[in-house]
Amino acid sequence: MLKAYKEKYYKNNFQYILVDSLGKIIDTDDSIIPSESKYSIQEVHPFFESISDLFTISNQHYDFSCVNLDFEKKSIIADIVIYTHDNNENIIIIENLTEHYNRYQLTAQTRNESVINSQILELKNEYLLEKEQFKNNFIANFSHQLRNPITASAIFSKFLSNTNLNSEQKNYLDIILSANNDLKYRINDILDLAKIESGQLILNETTFNLKELLNKIATGYQIFATKQNLDFETGFDPKLPSYLVGDRYRLKQIIGNLINNAINFTSKGQVSLHVSLNYIRAEKASLHIEVADTGIGIDKSEHDSIFERFTKVNPNSQNNRNIGLGLAIVKYLLAQMNGNISIESQSNLGSKFVCNLSLKTAKESHKLLEVSHEIVYPDFDKKKSILLVEDSELIQLSILKILSSNGNFFLNIISNGEDVIPTLKNQEADIILISNTIQRYSAEELARSIKELSTAHKKIPILALSTEVFKEDLKRYKRSGIKDVISKPFDDKSLLDKLYKYVK
Amino acid sequence: MTTSKKIVLLGHFGVGKSSLIRRFVENTFSENYKVTIGVHIFKKVVEVSNSDSISLIIWDLEGQDDIKKTRSSYLLGTNGFIYVFDLSRPITFENLNSELEFLKENFPNIPVKVVGNKMDLVTKLYLKDYSEVFGHLVDFFTSAKTGSRVDNLFSKLAKELL
């Protein structure tokens, strides 16, 4: 019985073919591959045709594993062993391992596919990162180019508004001022997003008066909403703490962006802002902010996507002025502050945005340190002299106009980096303003050279007029001895605030 | 007169060796990737001139990320090599120099054609970016999918083998 099984097993799995040195078949059967009807082994399959030279070398042994052999009626995968002898008889042993190799093929298929997919994913990821980097650089560069003209346009519009204008001219100017303001916010939005996405946005924590901030926001938007023929309702929880520690500017931005969004998408009815206290625990106050409107609403299917960049619901809306960055910024800022945002809304039934965030409560001693945001401009006994290093004529003229209106400063303007040191050797300066767009010289380089001039020069406060407002830029400026940065676009107040802060 | 020549295709897995052969032998292409294990052998007779034709016996080897891992018996008696890499996956041409060096050392005088496949997936700008890596080494930029330059590749090699 054993013999019968052995025979059956071997017959089905092994085939022995005897060939001469030219490949002529001497003995074979058809147990695995059809060969009985062939004259030479070369005719059986191209595999044998391509190895037939091996039969001419005597007393050799060759192993070919996992050879896929396709015939008209069947395909097999076999290990093939060849022994050559000097008696002109060569033996070919074929072992059929089709099932075994087919199982191996499945494993290899899964493994290779997963390796290739992960390589492709990695490449896509690299590509996306490069694209993101390019986009952020592009945005940063592009917005820098816009900052000088926006600054000049804002400043001169404001001065123009103080001249004798008839009511028609005043109306036109109001439109220019408002458009300019819009443009400034849009650029700041774009830059903020670029900062957030490159991880460069830092929260600037200070102690601030929460109630005062909320009242300011309420007053500002009351006027804006009235202009749009909307009611603006506010409700602030009396339990809210007066003082908190956090980034006042960013909190204002979160609330402001939500209200702007509500007003933009509401053509009639009401927009409201309610702020209440969830609880105070472990020296942290949890705030609950709700901004609701009676506007076009947002379909449930769009609730997640509205927080993505450049998404705007109902793009055909006539009222649509928002390019859709505001909510993305709100979401990012809240995430930075460990807060969250949710939305309750249905199409045509208005929307309600609800945020919760925690801010540190202020200690008694810290409350005294709160910096007043209003700087009083004192008169000096003697006019202070400012050296301005700036190659943009628009900015030169803007600063000249601001300072001449203020009356407390002399202005000396240099357009070339080369002239800075020779000028300072002959003239005194109480403050030096250096633009970061001077050709061939960076603001830091110039600051360093000035500091090296003499001990007296070391003491002159240097401020940068900069379009570079990223965290790394600010660090770089500080290292080179630049005291502070006036970021473009600036207005008369932000320029004068900084000058009065540093002038001695 | 017809002579028979053995051509071996080498390269990483998934670079399109089997697809190039299918395009050349059967003029077909499939988007589905099927992993080759071991070796598949194909045959096609190519007319090189009016009187001469050549029977190309093409060995389609299982892809390897290192040529040294290839079973040595598969390479016995090879008359010509085609080294294929995937233009869209840099990992498949990162070690191109050392792979070709190995062939040169172990199979001196055997012609080698270097092929950047999947040309349909990349742009001219991309090729320019990578030209320093493989530009001077590549003989053919092919696409098994569109069929671009596939026949040229095999005919060129066939002529050199005659």
Residue spans per domain, chain B: 2-161
Q: Does A117 touch chain B (CB under 8 A)?
A: no
Task: Name every chain A residue with its beta carbon within 8 A of the beta carbon of B38.
Answer: 65-68, 77, 101
Q: Give yes or no for a contact between A188 and A490, defined as CB atoms under 8 angstroms apart.
A: no
User: Would you call A333 helix, strand, or coil by DSSP?
Assistant: helix
- Residue A480: how many CA atoms within 13 Å on its side-chain side? 22
- For residue A319 the two structure tokens come to 């009222």
pLDDT score for B129? 87
Is A109 close to B14, i.e. CB distance below 8 A?
A: no
CATH number for B2-161: choose from 2.40.50.1020, 3.10.450.710, 3.40.50.300, 1.10.3720.10: 3.40.50.300
Torsion of CA A100, A105, A111, A113, to 10 degrees: -170
The chain B residue lying nearest A79, using CA atoms, is: B38
d(CA B114, CA B159): 16
Query: pLDDT tens digits, residue range A256-305?
Result: 999 988 988 888 899 999 999 999 998 899 999 999 999 888 877 777 77
Query: pLDDT tens digits, residue range B148-162?
Result: 999 999 999 999 998
Helix (H) or strand (E) holding A412: strand A409-414
Kindly tell me if the per-residue pLDDT of A96 is higher than 90. Answer: yes
Across residues A131-150, what is the average pLDDT?
80
Q: Does A400 touch chain B (CB under 8 A)?
A: no
Side chain identity at A84, as an amino acid letter?
T
Q: Give yes or no for a contact between B31 and B45, defined as CB atoms under 8 angstroms apart.
A: no
Kindly write down the DSSP assignment for every residue of A397-410, as one continuous string: HHHHHHHHHH-SEE
Q: Is the peptide bond before A489 cis (omega within 30 degrees of 0)?
A: yes
A-B C-beta contacts closer than 8 Å: 78
Query: Which one of A63, A69, A112 has the shortest CB-CB distance to B13?
Result: A112
- For residue A180 the two structure tokens come to 């300019």
Helix (H) or strand (E) holding A14: strand A14-19
d(CA A450, CA A434): 11
Side chain identity at A13, as an amino acid letter?
N
d(CA A205, CA A465): 23
d(CA B11, CA B14): 9
Distances in Å between the alpha carbon of B123 and those of A153, A289, A442, B107? 44, 51, 38, 34
Q: Give contacts of A 66-95 with B, CB under 8 A.
A: 66-70, 77
Q: How far is B14 from chain A (nearest CA, A)?
A: 7
Q: Does A51 touch chain B (CB under 8 A)?
A: yes
Q: What is the Cα Rg of chain B in Å?
A: 15
In 10 A of CB A289, how many CB atoms? 21
In 10 A of CB B84, how many CB atoms? 29
Query: Which one of A49, A53, A66 has the shortest CB-CB distance to B38?
Result: A66
Task: Name every chain A residue with its beta carbon within 8 A of the beta carbon of B43.
Answer: 46, 49
Is A119 close to B91, i.e. CB distance below 8 A?
A: yes
Task: Name every chain B residue with its beta carbon within 8 A of the beta carbon of A57.
Answer: none
Interface of B with A (CB under 8 A): 4, 6, 13-14, 33-43, 55, 57, 59, 62-63, 71, 73-74, 76-77, 88-91
If you average pLDDT over every residue of chain B, what do you get?
A: 94
Q: Does A57 touch chain B (CB under 8 A)?
A: no
Helices (H), A407-470: 420-426, 443-453, 455-458
pLDDT score for A223? 84
Which of B57, B65, B70 is the mutation pick for testing A, counting most A CBs within 10 A? B57
Kindly tell me if the per-residue pLDDT of A499 is higher than 70. Answer: yes
Which residue in A249, A247, A273, A269 sits closest to A259, CA to CA? Answer: A273
Q: Does A116 touch chain B (CB under 8 A)?
A: yes
Kindly write down the DSSP assignment for every residue of A68-80, as one continuous string: EEE-SS-EEEEEE
Task: Name every chain A residue with its beta carbon within 8 A of the beta carbon of B39.
Answer: 64, 66-68
Query: pLDDT tens digits, residue range A176-212?
Result: 887 887 788 778 777 777 777 777 777 878 888 999 8
d(CA A414, CA B30): 69
Q: Give yes or no for a contact between B49 and B74, defined as CB atoms under 8 angstroms apart.
A: no
In chain A the domains, ranked by start, together with CATH numbers, are 2-96 (3.30.450.20), 102-197 (1.10.287.130), 206-367 (3.30.565.10), 384-502 (3.40.50.2300)
Query: pLDDT tens digits, residue range A327-345?
Result: 888 998 998 888 999 998 8
Is B38 close to A67, i.e. CB distance below 8 A?
A: yes
Kindly tell me if the per-residue pLDDT of A219 is higher than 80. Answer: yes
ipTM entry: 0.95
User: pTM for this one?
Assistant: 0.63
Query: Which one of A45, A64, A113 has the shortest CB-CB distance to B33?
Result: A113
Q: Within chain A, how many helices (H) and strands (E) appear?
A: 14, 17
State the sign of the Cα–Cα–Cα–Cα dihedral B41, B46, B48, B49.
positive
User: Which of the pair, A140 or A121, is modelled with greater confidence?
Assistant: A121
d(CA A167, CA A150): 24
d(CA A193, CA A199): 10
Kindly write down the DSSP assignment for every residue of A258-288, as one continuous string: HHHHHHHT-SSSEEEEEEEEEEEETTEEEEE
Side chain identity at A305, as an amino acid letter?
S
Query: Which one of B37, B41, B57 has the shortest CB-CB distance to A101?
Result: B37
Side chain identity at A357, as an amino acid letter?
L
Helices (H), A94-247: 98-161, 167-197, 210-227
Percent above pLDDT 90 for chain A: 44
Query: pLDDT tens digits, residue range A349-380?
Result: 889 999 999 999 887 655 555 555 556 787 78
| Pairing state between β A409-414 and A384-389 | parallel
Which residue in A218, A378, A119, A32 sits closest to B90, CA to CA? Answer: A119
Which residue in A382, A444, A392 sits closest to A413, CA to CA? Answer: A392
Which residue in A147, A249, A143 sits closest to A194, CA to CA? Answer: A143
